[in-house]
C-alpha cells in the first residue's frame, strides 16, 4: 500500500504585506520538503492574488501593537505605533521600510513568491463567498489561481491536511 504524502494548507485571510509572507515562506519550505501545499485565500487575503492589488500591498502601523518603531528604522523602541501610525504618511513609510527589509534578506516580492509556489506545485484557490461579496471574478486573479471554490469544496480537497490559518 502506497503511503500518502503529507499535505499542508494555509488559509490567508489578511491582505497586508506583513501577513502575506508567513504562508509564502512556510509554503515554499513545505514544498522543498516534499509536502503537498494548498493555499486558500479568503476575505482580505484575496488582495494577495488580485491582479490590481498584489503589487500594492501595505503594512499599516495603526492597531499593529507588535510593530516596534525601532524595527522600522526609528531609533529605539518607542512602543507607540498607534499614535505614530495615525500621522499622515506613516503607512507609506512603514510599507517602504518593510519592503526594504524584505529586499535586504533577498526574499522575492509577493507576486514572484506566488509564481514560485505555483511552479513548485502548490495549489491556489479563492473563496467563492468572498469573491461574490467583493464582486470579483476568476479573471481578476493572478495566473496560477486554479479555481474559485466554496468552503465545502475546500474541505473536500483538503481532507486530512494540516491547516494553518493566517
127-162 tens-digit pLDDT: 999 999 999 999 999 999 999 999 999 999 999 999
Kindly report the CATH number assigned to the domain that includes residue 150.
Answer: 3.40.1260.10
Question: Does residue 127 lie within any of the structural domains?
Answer: yes
Domain assignment present for residue 1? The answer is no
Q: What are phi and psi of 145, to 5 degrees?
A: -75, 115
61-120: pLDDT as tens digits: 655 555 554 445 554 444 445 555 555 677 787 778 888 888 888 889 999 999 999 999
| Cα–Cα distance, 149 to 154 (Å, whole number) | 7
- What are the phi and psi torsion angles at 129 (to 5°)? -60, -45
Give the pLDDT score at 96: 80
CB atoms within 10 A of CB 7: 18
| Residue-level pLDDT at 76 | 47
Cell output for 88: 499622515
Above 80 in pLDDT, residue 4? no
The pLDDT tens digits for 13-48 are 999 988 999 999 999 999 999 999 999 999 999 999
**Helical pair 110-119 and 17-32, crossing angle rounded to 10 deg:** 20
| Whether 78 contacts 48, CB under 8 Å | no
pLDDT at position 25? 95
Residue 64 lies in a domain: yes
* Mean pLDDT, rounded, for 5-20: 93
CA distance 24 to 77: 28
Strand, coil or helix: 3 = coil
Any domain includes 94? yes
What is the pTM assigned to this prediction? Answer: 0.82
Return the pLDDT at 31. 97
Q: For residues 36 and 27, give the distance between their C-alpha atoms in angstroms, rounded to a whole number.
A: 9
Greatest C-alpha distance within the chain: 62
Evaluate whether 109 touches 57 at the Cβ level (below 8 Å): no
| Distance separating alpha carbons of residues 141 and 51, to the nearest angstrom | 5
Across the beta sheet with 145-149, the strand order is 145-149, 123-127, 36-41, 7-12, 162-165
User: Residue 130: what pLDDT?
Assistant: 96
pLDDT value, residue 92: 81
Domain that holds residue 33: 7-165
pLDDT greater at residue 8 or residue 102:
8
Number of domains into which the chain is organized: 1
Amino acid at each position: 500500500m502506497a503511503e500518502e504524502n503529507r499535505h499542508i494548507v494555509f488559509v490567508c485571510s489578511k491582505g497586508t504585506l506583513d501577513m502575506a509572507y508567513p504562508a509564502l515562506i512556510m509554503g515554499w519550505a513545505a514544498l522543498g520538503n516534499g509536502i503537498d501545499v494548498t493555499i486558500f485565500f479568503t476575505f482580505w487575503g484575496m488582495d494577495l492574488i488580485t491582479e490590481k492589488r498584489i503589487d500594492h500591498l501595505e503594512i499599516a502601523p495603526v492597531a499593529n501593537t507588535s510593530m516596534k518603531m525601532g524595527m522600522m528604522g526609528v531609533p529605539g523602541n518607542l512602543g507607540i505605533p498607534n499614535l505614530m501610525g495615525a500621522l499622515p504618511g506613516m503607512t507609506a513609510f512603514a510599507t517602504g521600510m518593510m519592503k526594504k527589509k524584505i529586499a535586504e534578506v533577498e526574499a522575492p516580492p509577493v507576486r514572484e513568491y506566488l509564481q514560485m509556489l505555483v511552479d513548485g506545485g502548490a495549489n491556489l484557490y479563492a473563496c467563492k463567498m468572498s469573491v461574490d461579496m467583493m464582486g470579483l471574478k476568476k479573471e481578476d486573479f493572478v495566473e496560477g489561481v486554479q479555481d474559485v471554490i466554496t468552503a465545502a469544496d475546500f474541505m473536500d480537497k483538503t481532507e486530512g491536511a494540516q491547516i494553518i490559518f493566517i
